[in-house]
Amino acid sequence: MSENFLCDKMTDTEVTSVSAASLAYLGDCVLEIMVRERLVRLGVKNPSVESLEYVTAPNQSDALERILPLLTETEEDFYKRGRNCVHSGVPRHATPAQYRRATGLETLFGYLYLTCQTCRIRELFSAAFPN
């Protein structure tokens, strides 16, 4: 049985064939679940407001900087794929560099999810967003 009951494990080679945009799309969901779980566990009364501490491009960009030294070579490669993919629009509250790093972070979490690395997702999330 795979480590992640929601996921059928893909190999690194298989995940490489997935577009960076698709990985970022999935990774955004993975990060959202991690944020929501943390806020619920903490008993936060207004989680939709508190979640902004995690889900904006500037905050995700800062989080990426905290975990970048912890990444394996493969993880860094997936981060760079997302960071370097074509971005059609940048939110008003973020710089292009922040948005690119945030997309890279989402791509990394999409990769980790598809390869069923749940423990690594939790480890990097905790380092990225220390309480």
DSSP 41-92: HHT-S-HHHHTHHHHSHHHHHHHHHHHGGG--HHHHHHHHHHHHS--S---T
Active site residue: 12, 28, 62, 77, which one?
Answer: 28
Through-space distance between the first and last CA atoms of the chain, rounded to whole angstroms? 32
Residue 28 a catalytic site member: yes
Estimate to the nearest angstrom the gap between the alpha carbon of 26 and the chain centroid. Answer: 9
Is the torsion defined by CA of 71, 26, 62, 119 positive or negative? negative
Q: Give catalytic residue positions.
A: 28
